[in-house]
Amino acid sequence: MEVRNIAPLRLHLLFAGLGITFLLIFSWVLFHEEAAEWRTTQARFRQLEGDVKNPHQLAEAASVGGLRQVWLPDLGRIDRCETCHLGIDDPAFAGAPAPFATHPGTWLATHPTGRFGCTPCHDGQGQATDYAAAAHRPQPFVTRPMRPLETIEANCGTCHRALDPTDAPRLAEGRRLIAESGCFGCHEIPGFEGMTFRGPALDSVGYKVRPAWLASWLKDPKSYLAQSKMGNFRLSPDEIGSLQGFLLSQRMQVPLDSTGVDWKNADTANGRALFGELRCVSCHAVNGRGGTMGPELTNIGDKVRRDWLFSYLKDPHRVQADTPMLQYRLNDAQWRDLTAFLLEQYSSADTGAEPPPVTYQDARLLAAGRAVFERRGCSSCHRLAAIKETGRIGPSLAGIADRDPDELPYGGSTVRHTTDNYIFLKVLLPDTLGQPSGMPTFGFSPADAARITLALASIRKSDLPASYVVGRPALVPYRPGGKFGELVMRYRCLSCHTVGGFGGDLSTVPLDRIGSQLQRDYLANYLLNPGAVRVSVEARMPVFHLSPDEAKTIADYVSMVFLDDRFDRYDTKFTSAEARRGQELYGQLGCQACHQLGTKGGYVGPELSTTGARLKPGWIAAWLSTPQTYKPGTLQPDYGLSGADARALTAYLTSLGRSDAAKARGGKTP
């Protein structure tokens, strides 16, 4: 007899209910998938495509449908952004609404999505296929939502490691501010390895500064100099007093003897004339105007002692071997006059008779000052033989952009908790983040703090494959030898000029091909008495007071070494017909609107009356043919001259001033 097991009715009902539930779930999933945001977006795109393209373009266009994905295994990313951003690389959608608009600019030409994807530049959640989940806006628990355009250059910096990356001006400015402020002195900052930030050496500061000035400086450097690069450490009165005593006790190097100088007969009028002749304002600012390579001179009389200033001006390299300041060739009377002028003219008040250097004997005070010096990391920027450098006192900033924002202290600040906001507040107001900070305040404006934040936000934890990193090779320092090298070091030519990209940026004239640009005799005479070639430009080249032999040595070396063969092979056998044709072109092209010739013409470009005695023909022809090649951004128009016209104009310009130069040499015109 067959026995049948019949399940209770309630189980049948339960299974039926489960079946209906699963059917509803599967139906809802199917409906939800068919109605997914990315599908409706693609449907809108197909409709828009019919409006912006003609039938031929539609026939040629690839069909739109399904998920679009870019896999970047080297970067560990999967991006599906193009599932919705369907017109990103199609010029036909340049004016289309989001998300179908063409990517602005020409970025995709150098950053194709097949190699770079989207999120390495824009951040966000690349695997998502709807607007919210892709983190177009900040989302809970999403540490890297899409960056707004204001800070997107931070992501440029993950690949572009140069301090001045092209097409990222805010990033470049932020890195420049970091370099100028010497942040890497206290912090390890990737990308700034090998850089040094050096304030003045302090080994003999006790001979250099006045005690009252030093106390005021330690309290707030910007009270003396608004443009000071030194931060305010917010020292207590006790810290200031002990640090002042410790620093004034540092007297390693006695200033050069000036006891024989007749200060009573100092001629401040002659000192004023020397101040202008030496072009001091090319490097030093006075009342906020002038150069920034050297310290501000507005109130230098409040700061330094007379015997130290005389000694420093006479031989700056003795005091600070790496100073960019050159060593002029003046006599003691001239140094006396210049010193007296600076101390009299640039002083906020009558400082009275100069007291002798203060002597501190309190051992406890000196020990306390030494402790402050070490605790505050002063040796990160200032050399002091009495203190052994102990390394950076601040934390490493490697990977700072990837720190978890929820683990960072924000104090009582009500800003949204993001890593960028934390960095910004730390740079701008370090004491506002919940606890006293040893980090100095630099007086950055909010705009500058934002630029520094942007630069630091480019420093990620994980490094990129080498194929993605764009940098610049380190410049090889130019160190010439022999007599010429000695003169380059003495007169600090590379503080203003560059050779092979190495050097200063005060001058816009690199020296690499200067021997093929300038006539040798002109250069020798110019070094003895430099002046401005452009009438409207203030002369900046100092009068070095070189000896004739020194000028000859420099001119000979430059004319033989700093050459470009492309210019020197130029055929200089001009005909009189070519010179006449060049004179006609000079008038037809309107050159006189910018250049002065004799007493006529404009003041924008260089004066041309002595061009033939100043410039070499090969250089003139090259410059006239393609001026932007040799000086990008120059105001000189590119007329698209033919070779014959450029040669004719060169023939005419070369003829100007040659007879006068020949007479000066006692010879005949070549």
Q: Within a domain: residue 637? A: yes
- 279-328 pLDDT, tens digit per residue, is 999 899 888 888 888 888 988 999 999 999 999 999 999 988 888 999 99
Query: Both 525 and 593 in a single domain?
Result: no
Query: Both 414 and 457 in a single domain?
Result: yes
Over 90: is that where the pLDDT of 24 sits? no
Query: Both 661 and 578 in a single domain?
Result: yes
- For residue 18, how many C-alpha atoms fall within 13 Å in the half-sphere facing its CB? 6
Q: Within a domain: residue 81? A: yes
Q: Residue 526 maps to which CATH number? A: 1.10.760.10
- 54-113 pLDDT, tens digit per residue, is 777 777 777 788 889 999 999 999 999 999 999 999 988 998 999 999 999 999 999 999
Query: Both 580 and 646 in a single domain?
Result: yes
Q: Within a domain: residue 268? A: no
Q: Name the token pair of 544.
A: 């070095």
Domain that holds residue 625: 568-665
Query: Both 116 and 58 in a single domain?
Result: yes
- 321-343 pLDDT, tens digit per residue, is 888 999 999 999 999 999 999 99
Q: Within a domain: residue 10? A: no
Pair 130, 37: CB distance under 8 Å: yes
Residue 78 CA from chain centroid, whole number: 35
Q: With b meaning 16 or more CB within 10 Å and e meaning fewer, what string describes 235-271?
A: beeebbbbbbbbbbbbeeeebbebeebeeeebbbebb
Phi, psi dihedrals of residue 44, rounded to the nearest 5°: -65, -35
Over 90: is that where the pLDDT of 579 sits? yes
Query: Both 657 and 610 in a single domain?
Result: yes
Dist. CA 369–CA 490, nearest whole Å: 36
Q: Which of 468, 498, 532 is the last residue of a domain?
A: 468
Measured CA distances, 52 to 56, 62, 361 (Å): 12, 15, 86
Q: Is the dihedral of CA 374, 380, 384, 386 positive or negative?
A: positive
Query: Both 557 and 593 in a single domain?
Result: no
Query: Both 87 and 57 in a single domain?
Result: yes
Pair 383, 321: CB distance under 8 Å: no
Q: Name the token pair of 323.
A: 């100073």
Collapsed DSSP state (helix, strand, coil) of residue 178: helix
Collapsed DSSP state (helix, strand, coil) of residue 71: strand
Q: Within a domain: residue 326? A: no
Q: Within a domain: residue 583? A: yes
Query: Both 53 and 123 in a single domain?
Result: yes
Over 50: is that where the pLDDT of 669 sits? no
Q: Which of 519, 546, 563 is the last residue of a domain?
A: 563
Q: CB under 8 Å to 79, separation ≥6 — which residues?
A: 69, 70, 72, 113, 117, 118, 119, 126, 127
Q: Within a domain: residue 332? A: no
Query: Both 526 and 573 in a single domain?
Result: no
Q: Which of 439, 468, 497 is the last residue of a domain?
A: 468
- CA distance between the termini of the chain: 136
- Split into its structural domains, the chain has a count of 4
Q: Within a domain: residue 296? A: no
Query: Both 596 and 614 in a single domain?
Result: yes
**Looking at the whole model, is its pTM more than 0.95?**
no
